[in-house]
Amino acid sequence: MDTEKQRMHELVSILDRAAAVYYSGEDEIMSNYEYDKLYDELVELEEKTGIVLSGSPTSKVGYETLSELPKEAHVAPMLSLSKTKDIDELADWLGAQKGLLSMKLDGLSIIITYENGVLTKALTRGNGEIGEVITNNAKTFKNLPGQIPFSGRMVLRGEALIRYSDFEELNRRESEDESVTQYKNPRNLCSGSVRQLNNEITANRRVRFYAYNLIELVGDGEGVPSLDEGSKEAELIFIKEQGFELAPYKQVDSINIRDEVAAFSKEVTESDLPSDGLVLTYDDIAYSKSLGRTAKAPRDSIALKWQDETAETTLIDIEWSASRTGLINPVAIFEPVELEGTTVQRASVHNVSILKELELGTGDRITVYKANMIIPQIESNLTKSGTCEPPSVCPVCGSKTELVNENGSTVLMCPNKECYAKQIRSLIHFVSRDAMNIDGLSEATLEKWIQGGFIRSCVDIFDLAKHKDTIISDDTMKIREKSFENLQNAIEAAKDASLPNVIFALGIKGIGLATAKDIVKEYPSMTLPGFLDIKRDELLKVNGIGENLADSVIDYVSNEKNKALVRELDGILRVSVPVISDDSGAFSGKTFVITGSLNTFANRGECKDRIEALGGHVASAVSANTDYLVNNDIMSTSSKNKKAKSLGIPIITEDELVEMMGM
């Protein structure tokens, strides 16, 4: 008994630490799989011993509210759900009842209140009893109605989240913004965004809200459902009529539930919405109310956690990836395996604490899976040799590394402020597609050329020709004459640059390509050296730029080293001002996704510029908000074509697009 109680104390401590970090929106110290495994172990020990320790996560909901946001009690406790990974158990739970099976969205639970048709309050889950007031932030959610037809009081619960496509776009466009890139997944970025003290930051993060049930409804009117009787689907229909988007759901019974679970399991792998399972609830409201609740969970709903597909493989190595913030992250490299229909051979280990807990070593037999069918993770280590140690020096600059405690986890840091990693990341950003668009300069190549002294700043890229003989004669460079010529052609082509792309390429904190375009749109006569003279009050007139971003730009253009760099670039580049996007153009309000090869346009960038010049928007992934998928191979069985067809989105050829443009 003493050994079991000691283990229970250990588990409570570990799980509490993991939950505190997870719910505060910081980076995880363990995967969902590992958390669930430890949680299940604790439940088994509690059932075996009959003891539930004070503070056990099995009797608590959510996190303690520790930020500076105001706190307020919920009108009703925000409970958690009982969970299973067994589809048969799910079917048995439903029995002869009819139910609603919905996608369990992986974001931040929010309670929203409307009075007299107007949004008046938004609260986070908090500790389940008391939440944080985020009303001002909620008003910036992209799809949340500011006013609704219902004139009474309505309180509803839903999930705030950031879609995968928006997360990828934010990371791509704001790649120099540490406030975005510190987050490894949409869920963490959403949590960090929703709980900001400055709602300008929330507004820029593309947070959306998906409703899934009513909590309180006071007021009369045609079609207003009862919360004491009738069906929960009628509630959802009413919510949708008020202008809210819903978590995807399907009607189920004992006959079709297994088929619908299978359908959802396929859908989630292509969905733009982060999901970590399914939720099943009884459709009959009166029956649901008769069941009551436990201390932690309602009895009318249950969650199905995805039964992750796992595979056994061999660990080849641990790579240590240095970032421009100084953090050095371990990444597991293993023999390729097939998971959820794709080949996987890399997985983040997150930090040194997890590396040690897994006792990883080269040659170990490990099992891997995709968390939520998306993110590769290590499940367990079967051989546990424990031979992998953190490097004593930074893999980029060779400085002595430091082990640092962050949020209870051990992480590896490079303290060298002049570490090449920052230089490499800046150069990768400079040559990226939406910046200078220079093909052929990979991270590995840039690293070698920095270490070889050929590149010290982005300006040196345009002077690589003088190092041609040295580079192609060095076997370690693995660059042959033809490849070098192709690179030189790409560099020469990059000299014909658009001003917004050049501004974006400078890597100013928080300034993505969209913001750079907004600056040029506001000041169409601006030149590259003229950008150095821009004033703070001028920046504040630009759509989407607040005080923080304005300060970021002024800090950059006030730095003498940066001024010298911009002037050097001005002497090298042939900078043009693009056609300004027309908000009333033919494509105003339309969203396009471009895939496959193009014929009329030189590349996707040119096609994208033309669409944006007509007022349209180009996204990276197909979603419900996409208006057209551009693909010359309409009969393709690619995932984007399949997604577009399933959503009823038109797939058009490049010729059809050109015709729509009037070209």
The identity of residue 377, as a single letter, is Q
Largest Cα separation within the chain, whole Å, is: 82
- DSSP string spanning 108-151? EEEEEEEETTEEEEEEE-TTSSEEEB-HHHHTT-TT--SB-S--
Other C-beta atoms closer than 10 Å to the C-beta of 426 total 18
Q: How far is CA 141 from CA 32, 373, 464, in A?
A: 26, 27, 46
Check: CB of residue 371 under 8 Å from CB of residue 340. no
Please state the separation of Cα 374 from the chain's center in Å: 12
Other C-beta atoms closer than 10 Å to the C-beta of 168 total 14
Catalytic residue among 104, 232, 422, 640: 104
Stated as kind and residue range, the H or E segment containing 567 is helix 560-572
The identity of residue 220, as a single letter, is D
Measured CA to CA, the distance from residue 388 to residue 333 in angstroms comes to 12
Single out the residue of 333, 338, 395, 337 nearest to residue 362, CA to CA: 333
Check: CB of residue 448 under 8 Å from CB of residue 477. yes
In which residue are the tokens 């499940």 written?
379
Measured CA to CA, the distance from residue 418 to residue 428 in angstroms comes to 17
The identity of residue 59, as a single letter, is S
Measured CA to CA, the distance from residue 31 to residue 162 in angstroms comes to 19
In which residue are the tokens 């709602």 written?
199
The identity of residue 3, as a single letter, is T
- DSSP string spanning 479-548? --HHHHHHHHHHHHHHTEEEHHHHHHHTT-TT--HHHHHHHHHHSTT--HHHHTT--HHHHTTSTT--HH
Helix (H, G, I), strand (E, B) or coil at 562: helix
Please state the separation of Cα 530 from the chain's center in Å: 35
DSSP state of 82: E
Measured CA to CA, the distance from residue 479 to residue 494 in angstroms comes to 20
Helix (H, G, I), strand (E, B) or coil at 47: helix
Please state the separation of Cα 373 from the chain's center in Å: 15
Check: CB of residue 616 under 8 Å from CB of residue 592. yes
DSSP state of 78: -
The size of the chain, in residues, is 663
Strands 208-218 and 71-73 turn out to be unpaired
Stated as kind and residue range, the H or E segment containing 579 is none
* Residue 645 a catalytic site member: no
Measured CA to CA, the distance from residue 230 to residue 209 in angstroms comes to 25
**By CB neighbour count within 10 A (0-12 exposed, 13-18 middle, 19+ buried), where does 149 fall?**
exposed
Residues designated as active site = 104
